[in-house]
Structure 1
Amino acid sequence: MEPFSGVNSSCRILVNCHHQPWPLKNVRRVHLNLRRKNPSVSYPDILRYRGDLKYFSTDQNSQNASNLYPVESNFQHKIQDLQSTYTQLSCQTVLPSEGEVEVFLRGCLNVAQSLSLNVSSSVSCKAEAASTLLTLNHSKSKHKVCQTSPEVEHIIQSTSELAFSIIKHPNVFISPKLLKLYVAVQAALGWPDTLPEVFYLYSHKPVPLRNTSPIRYSKPKPNLFTNAIPQDIAKAALETAYTGKAYKSSRFVRQALLPISLLTITPFAIYTLASQLSNWQTSMDAHTARNVAFLGMMAYLGLTGTVGFIAISTSNDHMNRVTWAPGVPLRQRWIREDERAAIDQVASAWGFRESWRRGDEEGEEWDLIKEWVSRRAMILDRVELMEGMN
C-alpha cells in the first residue's frame, strides 16, 4: 500500500470514512491478533459514536505519533478560557441563565469540532476500506499501532470533563436544548461514557428555583411525560431513555391520547346518531330501532378497530433484523416499538450489511448482542424471516 499524501513515508494510516458505529469484524480480528503478538504494546480503542475508524501503523523509525495530531497552542488557551468561564458560572450566588450555559457548551463544541478538523486535515482518504484491511492483515511484525498523542488526549479529556461538570452542577437546569448540545459535544469528542448518567439526571435532577436566596430546589417528577428524552437524542442510551417510564408515558400521550379520547366519545356520538336515525323509519318503534342501530354500529366499529390494532401491532414489514419474540403482549409491542427500532439499528450497524450474509456473524461480541436482544423479549435474525428461508 502506497503511503497517503501529506503523511511521512515511514507511516501508514488507515481511515475508514464509512459510517460504522461498531467495529468491523475484520478490523476487530486484526486488532486482537496484533495485541496477542505484542502484549506489551498499548493499542487504541475504537472511537465509538464518532462514525470513523482510525488506525495508525508506524515503523520503528517513524516520528512520534503527535506529528499526526498537530496540536496548536490555541487549544490550550481555549481550555483555559473554558475553565475560567466554568469557575465564574459555578461560583455565582444566583442561578446561571440558560443562555450562559449554552454559550459555555458551544465553546466546548467548537473545541471538539476544531480538534476533529485538525486531526482529519492531516490525512487524506484515498484507499478503499477493503484493500486497506487486506493490507493491514498482511502487514509484517515490524508495524505496530500507536496511540493518540498525550496532548490530544489531555484536551479531549479536559473538554469532556468541563462539559460534564457544568451539566451536572446543581444550579444548572438541564433543558432539552442544553441536553442536545451536551450530546453533540461528547459525540464529537468520542467520549459517550457520561451520556447514561446525564440522561438519568435529565429527569431526576432537582430543579433549582429562581428568585430564592439561598437557592432552593424542587423535587422532580421523573415519570412525567414532559421529562422524556427527545427521540433524536434517546438513541444514544437505550437503557436510560427508551426503557424508562417517562418515555413510555410520552409515547402514550403523543400517539395514543387522541385516538383513545375519540374512542371514549364514540359511543355517545353513535347513540345520538342512532336516536336520529330511528325517527326516519316506520318498520318498528323508535326505541327498538335506536337500540338495533346503536348495537350494529358499535359492533362494526369494535370489530374493525380490533382487527386494525392487531394488524398494526403484529406487522413486521418495517423490521430489519430484530423482531418480537412469541408471547409478547400487543400492548407491549406497541409501547416498546421505538426501543425495538433502536436495537434493530444497533444490530444492523454491527453485522453484515448484505442481506444474504446475515447469520454468518460470529465472535464473542456478536453473541453478547444476541443475548442482549433476547433479554428484551426480542429475536435477532429469526430464521423463518431471513432471505431464502421462507
Structure 2
Amino acid sequence: MVHCNTDRRISFSGLPPRGCSAGIYVHIPFCRKKCGYCDFVSFPIDKISSYSPERYVDSLIKEFSSRLPAAAPDMPVTIYVGGGTPSVISSRLLFKILFELKHSKFAGKSAVKEFTVELNPESVSKDKLGVLKECGVDRLSFGAQSLDDRILNILGRVHNVRDFLRAYRLARETGFQNINIDLIFGIPGQSLDDFKDTLNKAISLSPEHISAYSLSIETGTEFYLRGMEKDEETDAAMYEYVIKFLKDNGYSHYEISNFSKPGFECAHNVNYWLNGEYFGFGLSAASHLSGVRRENTGIFSDYIKGIYENSEENLSPEKKIAETIILGLRMTDGVRLSREVKKIYKHNIMSLVRQGLLKTSGDYVKLSDKGIIFADTVFREFL
C-alpha cells in the first residue's frame, strides 16, 4: 500500500496523487436489531417503512454517479461495504449496489485490490453469497462478536453460535478464501475463560483474519443508559492473552486490534491507518482527500432527497501531522517521522521512551509491548 502525500492539493472531484491507492467506503445503515453497545448510524430495518431501503439504495447510486471521479488506470482501489448490516437488505438491492460499484467509472477502470462486505450471521443466505461472488467481492467480514451463546445474549445479538457456523460454512462452500471474524472482549459478565473458549473455537475454523476489539461503552448507547461497566483488570488480561494466543497460532499482530495470516492484512483499513485518501458514500460516511475531511449527513430523510454532505474540515498542517502519527502508531510496525517532525515532538517522544511506551529505530517510532496496552496514553501526547 502506497502512502499518499496529503499535502498535494486536489478537489473532491479529483484524484489522489498518481501511484497512490484510494479507498471507497459505502455505508448501509440497516440492521435486524440495534445492539446495546452500538453507536453507529444504524436502525432496525423492520422499524421503517418498507420502501425506505429501496429509496436509500437509489440515493446511494446517485451519490456514486455524482461524486466518484474517473480513476487513473494504474490506481489500485479498495472497496469496503459496512454498516449497519449490509447483508440484511435483499439480494436484489445488494446486487444493485455492488454491480454499480464494480462497474463505476472509478473502480471499473482501476485494479480493485480488495473488495470487502460485512455480514451478520442471521442474514446470510446462499443466494446473497452468490451475489457477492458474482459482483467481485473477495473478502468477507463476519460480525460474530462471540462464539458463546450466553455472551451473545448479553450483547443483544440476534444470532447464535449455530447461525454463525452455518453462515461461515456456506461462505467457504461458495468459494470465499479471505474471511475475517470480528470478536469483542471485555464484556460485562464475560470471564477470561469464556474468551479463551471463543478464541479456541475461532482458530479451529482457520479464518484468514481476526479482529478483536475491547468493548467500548459509548455515551447514549443502551449499555451506557443501563449503567453497565467493564472490569478493566479482566479486559487488560483478555487483551494480553489474545495477542499472545493468536501470535502462537500463526497470526501476525499487525495493528492494535487486528491479526492476520501472512498476506491477509486488511488493505482497506491499512490505508486508513496510513492516513491515506478515501471516499465515503452513504449516511454519515466520511471522506478524506487532500487534507480535507468531509462527512455526510446522518439524517435519513435528507439523504434520500439527495442532500449528502453535512460538514467539511480543512485540516491544518499541525493536525495532519498529529493524525498521521497517531494513526501510524496503531500499526505495530510503527510510523516513519521526518527530521522536522521528530524535532517538533522531541520531548514527547523522549518522555514516552523513558516510560517504556515507545521504541525508536532510526526514523521509525512504534509502540512497545507496554505501549500497545496503554496506547490511548501515548496518543494523547500527540494531540
TM interval, shorter chain, is: under 0.3
Query: Larger radius of gyration, structure 1 or 2?
Result: 1
**Structure whose residues are more often helix by fraction:** 1
TM-score (normalised: structure 2): 0.26
**Structure whose residues are more often strand by fraction:** 2
- Which of 1 and 2 has higher RCO (CA within 8 Å, sep 6+)? 2
TM-score (normalised: structure 1): 0.25
